[in-house]
Structure 1
Amino acid sequence: MFWGGLSRGFISLSPMLGWGADELLQPDERARQIQLASGIGAAVALPFVIRNGFISPLPVVAAVELATVLLLLLPAFLLAHRRRFLTLAESLVLLAGYVIFGVLLIFRGVQGTGMFWALLFPFLCFFLKGQLMGWLYSLGFIGFASIYLFFLRFHLGIGFDYSQTYAIHYLELLCGFTVVAAGFNLLRTRFEERLQVRVAEETAVAKSYLTQIQYQASHDVLTGLPNRIELVHRLSQQMANAGGAGLVVCNLHVRRLHELSNILGHLGGDQLVLSIAEKLAASIGSQGILARTRRDEFVVICPLEPQGPEALALRRQIEQRQFGVEVQGYTLYVEFSVGVSRYPGHSTDASTLLKQAEQAMLQARKSDLPWLLYDPAQEQAFQRHHLLFSLMCEALAKEEFDIHLQPQVDLVSGRWIGAEALCRWHHPAEGHIPPGVFIPIAEESGLVDPLTDWLMDRCVRELRQWRAMGLELGLSINVSALTLLSPNFSDKIRACIERHGVPAQSITLELTESCFMNSLDRSLLVMHHLRSVGFRFSVDDFGTGFSSLSYLKHLPIQELKIDRAFVHKLLAQPGDQAIVTSTIGLAHQLGLTVVAEGIEDAASAAWLAARGCDAGQGYWFARPMPTTDFVQMAMAQRAEAVSSVSAV
């Protein structure tokens, strides 16, 4: 029982005594503590040097204190900057404490309030040397004080003559404060232990989050494949390791991925993307790199030669449109548009190679090709494309666009019955930019809707002015398939005519056959709605599309325009004459008005009139002209017609 209790007591006291304690402080922390202790010690000692040297008659004490600062504390502060001298620096600070507190003890410094200064020494010992060594240094100072107070001062005859009661009282306080300093240091040490553990845990969590964020920043979340940022880095490494060997960079655009994802649902769409990624990864093998750079784009990087059988099989599947993946129990055949660039043939920069492959892919999509190798000539075309896109955005904001009008003429009477509005763009620096250049850019970039909004408002305002001047002419406006199928097109055009007070019957919307080929049901819905308001419809460039004639009977159209390709050399081409004659007859059978485009001579106009063509337009009658010129000519023709009627 006794020995067990003694053992338990010893175990409970061991942390207080510092037995078995680990060194927690790192060298940087030890250095800071040495600098703090030496700095505070010097700052406190120097005022006492002045006081003891000049005010109180204690020159010996002042000299010892000054020497302690210069020879012990200052070197300790400087040595703390060097890791290998940390122990020496700590010893110098403690030695300075021994010297200063010893001098205080000898020269009456611990009498009165000076006792509190001497009682600080145990805190210094534990602060610098830790729990175990703090006890040794503190007990060493207690031992020195006991020897001096009870033995040395009697035999040496130096120092202040303390009473025995005061000496015992001082030693008791010094022992008590040593215990307090040990307890305080133990609490501080345990707090630091817990703090370090908590900091380590928080740091581990932060590192985990950082690793996750870094991974997500460089990889696709769904497939785990490298994204474009990581791909540039890996391609640069691959190029550096390639030596003299070449590399192929393929940008693969998955066609109709959005449509397929809508059919399969969200989870099915994700599964489709994963299946495509898995099959592509299996096809390129271990030598290649597969990345997902956009929602519907992958990039494959593989050696130029030799290509393994898997890569050759992948190319054959893409070319033959036989790339099949299993999703939800079905085999889906996925089509790609692939752009290819080569290292070092096309570029030696990773970002440039990826951009070139993307440009080739976009051109392949535009040309409906499965594969297309990058052509350096594409660079200028793409730069021009992006320049014009930027200029178009500015032109819409600054209203740089204008309309020209080409008259439509009754082929029998020669009377103007209307006009076709043609959008024109004259840029201050680029000059005249043809519609065949900027209209496709508008359709590809999403600017076609704001351009059509401007065109509609401009044309309707022109019609309002005509009506105010007594010109009862119709106006034909071209509408693209994208605009016709946009959700709010019909609402916007109705609001436009209501805002300007123009009847819908005076406006003919010209639609190309592409408006009906892919979305006939939606097109019919919009057309019937607008027809009920009063708008007229015309099929523009008839005969140049690839759809059958069967859709004509379903469309609420009133007019059919024969394309200029059949009219330009009409009299010299029997085949064109047959097509035009048949088209006129078909249109009349369906109750449609026929307008021929591209009439450039009187003979063609007479031939068309003889076959029953109702109206025509072309350079023979008038070129497209500014609105002011059109109004002047229209007013002159109307005045001439009135004069003719009056003469009769």
Structure 2
Amino acid sequence: MKLRNLRHSLVARLIGISLLLLLAVQLAGFAVVRASIERNARVQITRELDTDERVWRRLLEQKAERLRQGSALLAADYGFRSAVSSDDVATIESALANHGARIGAAVTALLDTQLALRVVSSQAGMGQLPAALAQVVPALAAEPAGSQITVIDGLPHQFVMVPLRAPLVIGWVLMGFPVGQPLADEMRQLLSADVALRVGDGRGGFSVPVSTLGPQALAQLRSSAAAVNELELEGGDTLLVRASPLSQVGVPSEALLLRSVDAVLAPYRQLQWLLAVITAAGVLLFALGSSAMARRVTTPLRSLLGATRRLSRGDYSVPMEHTARSDEVGDLARSFDHMRIDISHQQAEIRDLAYRDRLTGLPNRERFRGAVLDALRADALPGHCLAVLMLDLDRFKHVNDVLGYAFGDRLLQAVASRLQPMAGTSGDMVARHGGNEFALLLHVTDAQAALRVAERIAGAFETPIQFDDQTVDLSASMGIALWPEHAQDADMLLNRAEIAMYGAKKRLSVVLLYDPALDSSSAQTLSLLGDLRRALEHGELRLYLQPKVALQAGDGVAAEALLRWQHPQRGLVPPMEFIPFAEQTGFVRHLTLWVFEQVAALLGQSGAREMVLRVSVNLSTRDLLDPDLSLRLGAILARYAVDAGSFCLEITESAIMDDPQRAEAMLNRLAQQGFKLSIDDFGTGYSSLAYLKRLPVNELKIDKSFVLGMQSGGGDAQIVRSTIDLAHNLGLTVVAEGVEDAALMERLRAMACDEAQGYHISRPMPADQFFGWHAGPGAAFVAAP
């Protein structure tokens, strides 16, 4: 009786535990399916919003093109041109009004050749039109083939402008149409997406003059914050929002594209209910079946004891006994056998995880090394060799710092998916070698075949990677080593591919084939860096000056301070062999202070004071990020009694953009001390005109690549001329680098360039020779008109 009660108690526990486990699994599956459906719906809506945004942009472009064609038609009308030439205002007004009405333009205007408004025809009630035209006309003049959107009386208007020729330009025709309700309704009819135009009021608020939303959604939108990604409506519906900027000048405005999440989820609601019913029925059937089977469980399990002991020792190769029986023992035996198989699979999975990168799914470093070893042991195909390609993503740390590690992980997964198709033949492998470094094992015919693979990879990276609303341009540095040409074993092959990769990164090349010289240059670099501190302490550094001459009438003499290293064994070491590594280690700060102090001592001499010498000193990124830089320079000025205005501190655009806020703060402090500031190598960096306008700079230095390019007759001359005009309009002086001959110097003088610097004037010279040069032949350049 007790045994029977115990058996029933065990059955109850087995049934209860089994039901709980099944129910937990079903609920988890139901939750996963529900979450997956909602996530997929949001992804689908995001893709649809991408399409909506492209269509919206296309509609605006079509409207602008229609307006541009209408403007061109009016500009080509002979009668209208005659009226403009004869200044027949009444005819001009009539033509503008009639033509604008035919094409649906809200504003038509005629501007003279100086872009001043002559005649305008507009709809009634456009009180803000003159102010809006004053903002939009310069922008259209800068880009006549484009269009501009600005806000007039709370509604965005799109404007285009075409020249009026007879045959020379005698004026400009300006036309604009409102981006209003008809366009939003058209968008709604095309793609069933809601559109709302939101316009700022200049005081932090906004209005919604155009909308296809219902009253509730519109009220919710008007009460929301300025930046909104989704709207939660009272009925439980959610609208995903995509903002597309409209106005480029004046009051900010944007188009909001909205789609309903519930509209996409609605077809799946019935499936979820059906899944719930199936889950409940499955639980019920399982409960009934488990109850029937559990009642048949008995205690004769000793026959399986030996098998369980083998399992405990880790032996999963021997199948369980009694699996052929149809009674309870057979069921249990089969269950144990399934467990044996599952554990065996898990062990295999664990071994797989030990050789596979969990983030990207690619083989990891250890698996890749094993594959290289296997490939070296295998008999190579006739006419083939083995290549290892190492790839390191550029600026990946910057991506992690700015966008976060989660975004960086997604970026690595996207890179892995782009690299996998590059393993074209059997035996090739793509692996994640660690961090942002990938490796490819390639069976190729020669080095050129491996380089072609690298070119395909570089081509694949030309397409930016986009996640949600964030687009990232990727580039990579690649190194290639071949077996047996470059290495005889796997580890050396991997090491030399990595050396080639770092060599490519150092040389700013996309791909580099291993060269034995790369190893020796690395050792030489380490030796030079070890000697650099000793060079500063033992007086091995030399100050050189390269003169800069005035191309226009002006007083004073200028030069740029340059650093040279007189090594006791290697002779005069070029700056490019130690300055980049000094910047990486931070030792460049000591070099900058040494140069500054040498220049201050030079400027303190009577000869420099008499000739009003101004010397330019280069600052690196490390210098700008030093919070005590202004104090250190001020102390040196006080020590030598030199005015800060005798210095011009040169900063590259890339140094400013590494940390714009800190760089701008430091530059403001230096400008307050009286230092003149110059943007070096202008045109080769990434800074914007907004930063250029805000920074307290006095001078731009045009990079020598543009100056030398003027000789080839390409577009570099226009770039130089435009840069000079831009600088002068901003109140800055311009220095041209790389002046190699008299013809270049004369062209720059004709372009109104302020100063020139280059080998035609003088090569860099030791500082103690500069005064002699100035008093001798160099005076001819200094005195040039």
Tell me the residue number matched to 2:480: 340
Q: Work out whether residues 528 and 578 of structure 2, in 8 Å CA contact, stay in contact via their aligned partners in 1.
A: no
Q: Does 1:360 align with 2:514?
A: no
What pairs with 1:197-216 in structure 2 (closer than 5 Å)? none
C-alpha distance in 2 between matches for 1:598 and 1:281? 45
Give the paired residue count.
416
Structure 1 distance, partners of 2:410, 2:482, is: 31
Distance of aligned partners of 1:497 and 1:271 in 2 relative to their CA distance in 1, 3 Å threshold: same
What is the rounded CA distance, in whole Å, between the counterparts of 1:582 and 1:303 in structure 2? 51
Q: Give the number of the structure whose alpha-carbon radius of gyration is greater.
A: 1
What residue in structure 2 maps to residue 375 of structure 1?
Answer: 513
Residue 401 and residue 393 in structure 1: after superposition, are their counterparts in 2 closer, same or farther (change >3 A)? farther
Query: Is the 8 Å Cα contact of residues 409 and 415 (structure 1) preserved in structure 2?
Result: no
**Residue 530 of structure 2 is aligned with which of 359, 369, 393?**
393
Work out the CA distance in 2 between the residues paired with 1:345 and 1:631: 56
1:161-193 superposed Cα distances (whole Å, 9 cap, x missing partner): xxxxxxxxxxxxxxxxxxxxxxxxxxxxxxxxx
Aligned position for 1:554: 694
Question: What residue is the counterpart of 2:397 in the other structure?
Answer: 258
Q: Check if 1:538 corresponds to 2:678.
A: yes
Paired residue type of 1:591: G
The amino acid of 2:513's aligned partner reads D
1:529 aligns with 2:681: no
What's 1:589 paired with? 729
Q: CA RMSD in A?
A: 5.3
With 502-511 and 629-638 compared, the bigger mean Cα shift is at 629-638
**Cα gap change, 1:546 to 1:298, in 2 (>3 Å):** closer
Of all paired residues, the percent bearing the same amino acid is 36
CA-to-aligned-CA distance 1:104-147 (integer Å, 9 cap, x gap): xxxxxxxxxxxxxxxxxxxxxxxxxxxxxxxxxxxxxxxxxxxx
Cα distance, 1:617 vs structure 2:
3.6
Deviation at 1:586, TM superposition (A): 3.6
**What residue in structure 1 maps to residue 594 of structure 2?**
454
Give the AA of the match of 1:435. Answer: P
Residue 508 (structure 1) shift: 0.6
1:357: Cα distance to partner?
Answer: 1.5
Rounded to whole Å, the distance in 2 between the matches of 1:448 and 1:538 is 19
Q: Which moved more, 1:426-435 or 1:348-357?
A: 426-435
* Counterpart residue number, 1:432: 572
Partners in 1 of 2:746 and 2:443 — Cα distance?
Answer: 66
SS in 2 for 1:353: helix
Amino acid in structure 2 at the alignment position of 1:561:
K
State the Cα distance separating 1:599 from its structure 2 match.
4.6
Report if the CA contact (8 A) 1:409-1:416 is conserved: no
Read off the aligned partner of 2:393 and give its amino acid letter. Answer: V
Q: Deviations over 1:382-439 (max 9, x none)?
A: 5325414421431342232211112333445686523210122333333333335544
Contact 1:594/1:614 (CA < 8 Å) preserved in 2?
yes
Tell me the distance in 2 between the aligned counterparts of 1:392 and 1:363.
Answer: 17
Shift of 1:531: 1.4
The CA deviation at 1:537 is 1.0
1:408/1:617 contact within 8 Å kept: yes
Q: Which protein is richer in helix relative to its size?
A: 1
Q: Aligned to 2:620, which of 477, 480, 484?
A: 480
Cα offsets for 1:451-471 (capped at 9, x unmatched): 334333333343344689766
| Matches of 2:378 and 2:774, distance apart in 1 | 73
CA distance in 1, matches of 2:723, 2:471: 44
- Richer in strand (by share): 2
User: Partners of 1:270 and 1:607 in 2: how far apart?
Assistant: 52
Q: What is the rounded CA distance, in whole Å, between the counterparts of 1:553 and 1:396 in structure 2?
A: 39
Alignment match, 2:387: 248
User: 2:758 & 2:464 partners in 1: Cα distance?
Assistant: 51
Give the deviation of 1:558 after TM superposition.
0.9
CA–CA distance in structure 1, aligned partners of residues 533 and 629 of structure 2 = 18
- SS of 1:478's partner is strand
Q: Bigger CA drift: 546-555 or 584-593?
A: 546-555
Q: Distance in 2 between matches of 1:331 and 1:636?
A: 57
Q: Secondary structure at the match of 1:429?
A: coil
Conserved 8 A contact 2:535-2:567: no
Match of 1:253, SS state, is strand
Residue 509 of structure 1 pairs with residue 649 of structure 2? yes
Distance apart, 1:530 and its partner CA:
1.9
Distance 1:469 1:326, change over 3 A: closer
Checking the alignment, whether the CA contact within 8 Å between 1:542 and 1:563 is kept in structure 2 is yes
Q: Within 2, Cα distance between the matches of 1:639 and 1:220? A: 70
1:503-531 deviation per Cα after TM superposition (whole angstroms, max 9, x unaligned) = 32221112234345665555433322321
Distance in 2 of aligned mates of 1:548 and 1:481: 17
Q: CA deviation at 1:560?
A: 2.4
Q: Any idea what the Cα deviations from partners look like across 1:23-66, whole Å, max 9, x if unmatched?
A: xxxxxxxxxxxxxxxxxxxxxxxxxxxxxxxxxxxxxxxxxxxx
Quick one: structure 1 residues 585 and 259, their matched pair in 2 at CA, closer, same or farther if it must change by over 3 Å? closer
Q: Is the contact between residue 709 and residue 717 of structure 2 (CA under 8 Å) also seen in structure 1? A: no
Residues 391 and 479, structure 2, Cα contact 8 Å, conserved in 1? yes
**Residue 559 of structure 2: aligned partner:** 419
- 5 Å-filtered alignment, 1:463-474, equals 463-465=603-605, 472-474=612-614
Contact 1:396–1:451 (CA under 8 A) maintained in structure 2: no
Check conservation: 2:603, 2:609, Cα contact below 8 A: no
